[in-house]
Amino acid sequence: MINGETLKQAIISGANNISSIKARINDLNIFPVPDGDTGTNMSMTITAAAEALKDAEPVDVSEVANMTASAMLRGARGNSGVITSLLFRGISKGLEGKAEASGADLIHALGLGVEAAYNAVTKPTEGTILTVARMGYEAGLEALDTEEDPAVLWEIVCDASLEALDLTPTLLPVLKKAGVVDAGGKGILTIFEGMLSVLRDGVVVEMKEEEYEKENEDDFFRSAAAEFDQVINFTYCTEFIVGRNEECEKEPNDLRLYLETIGDSIVMVADDEIIKVHVHTETPGDALQHGLEYGQLLTVKIENMKEQHRKAKEEQEKAKEKSEKKAELVVAEPTEEYGFVAVAAGEGLSNLFNELGCQNVVSGGQSMNPSTEDIYAAVMATPAKCIFVLPNNKNIIMAAQQTAAIVEDRTVIIVPTRTIPQGLSAMLVFDPDSDAETNVDNMLQAAKNVSTGQITFAARDSEFGARRIKEGDIIGLDNGKLTVTSSSPNKALYKLAKSMINKEMSFVTLISGEGVSEEEAASAVEMLENKFADQVDITYIKGDQPVYYYIFSVE
């Protein structure tokens, strides 16, 4: 039988296990847009439960399961985090009122979690976290005919979940093409395996600092180089690959000896065909010139580390300010009839939503999904009886929907906007003299009429159709679909705008991000006006959003 303390330690062990490899799980995301945060979202979701349980002294499994479900509900981030929380909410229902849990209790409780997760998704897709959890449960259920031991049964769940994970590429062709398994499936298996360590062996998996050393040579090269990045003695991080000239008789070690005279943090890997170099130096040109003595330069990458450090400090300050602002949120009495909460990142966008009547803006978006608790706090700080929540990102909608379920003293309506332009259009058609139902219909229709273009960068190498995408490439998305690649944000914007703007369109709104200078933004506006001014009205907004150089709407 499983008692409360054992279940508590199992949950903590599961949280530690996924937290230790969350970056590996993030990297299983196959779409090149910077949204690889499945591991982070799932880790933060279950870590909320581990933090709640850490100092607790639970009496029974029912109390532990209930505390876990409650903390995960509020801490859920992203679709993968919400689904994870639903799995554990189902387990909580299955263990309700129980002092101890048998193996059969645990399996049946998992079944309730799987059912809840499937029911929460409008169109469940096989080959995902849902499949992995379901097949694990089904194997455990079948084993109940011959087995009673909770540890043995949970090991069967883990084994079947692993088999299901290996099947995900056969169920989702995009996974097979990319040569990876499903990120969410890997995440839930990792949690289950962390729990197994306690149930079977009595050992809590320790929390480890993330050690992400991949197996191939290129990743070893990056990992080794990263060890030296703590102190910035030189400005430029310089990396290059030399294709070796067969006629060159120089020894690679001579290159290393030279690099030691002009820099530090040197990592060099050489074989018969190439030499790969990493060095921190003030004179990257000298490093490259000496590299040319061994053959042709195949790739070159130079980064200003001091500038990166400066930007990192700025981001830390911004994060601190946002955290302090969040702490200032206090519960407001619902005195007004209607109110709004929106999710957006960037000072310009936040101010714009405020100007349109949004009382509270939750900081978040692509690659930075707010938790259910974040949205809940903003809702409770909004002094209205009926509050419309605009997630403005497809990966935040489920977390927002969980908020509606836990607010009791006011009505919360989730308007499932998937982009910033959809959220802005929805707010613009709001009529305070109409009832809530009419407003929802109007806002949904307004959002539906908006086409969204986004210019960002590729976060990883990828391949889509005939397109080969390299990390760092500038890419353009037409309503989420990758359609454009280019060498610069403005060129990508022009190509994407040409494909999206037609004679039926009347309005274009261009929103610039934090990485776009005033000169670049002015050039982009001028470019659009020269091409499309006789067709559409063009409005420019300085949004300051991260991740996206430009977001634009076409209506």
CA distance 84 to 82: 5
Higher pLDDT, 59 or 9: 9
Q: By C-alpha distance, which of 359, 378, 380 is closest to 370? A: 378
Q: Is residue 476 a contact partner of residue 467, using CB atoms and an 8 Å limit?
A: no
Q: In this structure, what token pair is assigned to residue 483?
A: 């359609």
CA 527 to chain centre: 33
Look up residue 550 and give its amino acid.
Y
- According to the model, what pLDDT value does residue 87 have? 93
CA distance 478 to 416: 19
Q: Is residue 195 a contact partner of residue 8, using CB atoms and an 8 Å limit?
A: no
Q: What is the pLDDT of residues 73-124, one digit of tens each?
A: 888 888 888 889 999 999 999 999 999 999 999 999 999 999 988 888 778 8
- According to the model, what pLDDT value does residue 229 have? 40
What are the C-alpha distances in Å from 498 to residues 272, 464, 528? 47, 21, 9
- According to the model, what pLDDT value does residue 325 have? 53
Q: In this structure, what token pair is assigned to residue 175?
A: 């996974």
Residue 212 has pLDDT above 70, yes or no: no
The highest-level CATH class for domain 451-554 is alpha beta
Q: By C-alpha distance, which of 399, 314, 410, 412 is closest to 364? A: 399
Put simply, whether the predicted model's pTM sits higher than 0.75 gets the answer: no
Average pLDDT over every residue of 261-266: 82
- What's the CATH fold of domain 329-448? Rossmann fold (3.40.50)
- According to the model, what pLDDT value does residue 180 have? 81
Q: Identify the weakest region by mean pLDDT among 131-135, 307-311, 371-375, 488-492.
A: 307-311
Average pLDDT over every residue of 390-413: 89
Q: HEC states along 474-503?
A: EEEEECCEEEEEECCHHHHHHHHHHHHCCC
Q: What is the pLDDT of residues 314-372, one digit of tens each?
A: 766 665 555 555 556 788 888 899 999 999 988 888 888 888 889 999 887 666 788 88
The highest-level CATH class for domain 4-201 is mainly alpha
Higher pLDDT, 203 or 26: 203
Q: HEC states along 300-339?
A: EEEEEHHHHHHHHHHHHHHHHHHHHHHHHCCCCCCCEEEE
CA distance 215 to 164: 24
- According to the model, what pLDDT value does residue 138 have? 95
Q: By C-alpha distance, which of 478, 529, 536 is closest to 502? A: 536
**DSSP-based three-state secondary structure for 469:** strand
Q: What is the pLDDT of residues 429-485, one digit of tens each?
A: 899 889 999 999 999 999 998 999 998 888 766 665 666 777 778 888 888 888 888
What are the C-alpha distances in Å from 357 to residues 198, 290, 338, 430, 432? 51, 60, 10, 10, 11
What are the C-alpha distances in Å from 395 to residues 77, 289, 419, 452? 8, 47, 10, 16
Q: In this structure, what token pair is assigned to residue 38?
A: 């499945």
Q: What is the pLDDT of residues 494-548, one digit of tens each?
A: 999 888 888 777 888 899 988 888 899 999 999 988 888 788 888 888 888 888 8
Q: What is the pLDDT of residues 296-322, one digit of tens each?
A: 988 888 888 777 677 766 766 665 555
- According to the model, what pLDDT value does residue 189 have? 94
Please, which pLDDT band fits residue 286 given cuts at 50, 70 and 90? very high
Tell me the domain boundaries of the chain: 4-201, 217-308, 329-448, 451-554
The highest-level CATH class for domain 217-308 is alpha beta
**DSSP-based three-state secondary structure for 266:** strand
